[in-house]
Amino acid sequence: MSHDNEPTTRIREGTLMAFLNRDYFRVRLDDGQKIVAVMPEELFSVYDPNVRLTYANRHSVTIEMREPPAMPKIIRAHQSYMCGADFDASARLDLD
């Protein structure tokens, strides 16, 4: 097995792309790789399941890459700067 594709750091940045089910989300990492990550309940207030994710309202996330079989975990989520006038700095939540 090649270790060339392993992340060099356990913390990665990305963007929420889609809600899958329960607390699972599809995330596109900054390098373009797509993964499935789990979002803790503490961060649910950032995401509104009634609003469709589009290019203009996707949330930026920080992901902790964990050793298998554990799934990558979203540890920080906030609205993207692309949200324009609707950006609310108070919507930024950290799980540190």
Distance CA 82, CA 5 (A): 30
The size of the chain, in residues, is: 96
Chain mean pLDDT for the chain: 79
How many structural domains does the chain have? 1
Residue pLDDT, tens place only, 69-81: 999 999 999 876 5
The CATH number of whichever domain residue 72 belongs to comes to: 2.40.50.140
Residue 79 resides in a domain: yes
Cβ-contact 29, 13 below 8 angstroms: yes
Task: For residue 87, give its domain range.
Answer: 11-94
| Beta-bridge partner residues of 61 | 14, 77
Residue 1 resides in a domain: no
Question: Phi and psi for 35 in degrees, rounded to 5?
Answer: -135, 170
User: What pTM, to 2 d.p., does this model score?
Assistant: 0.71
Residue 72 resides in a domain: yes
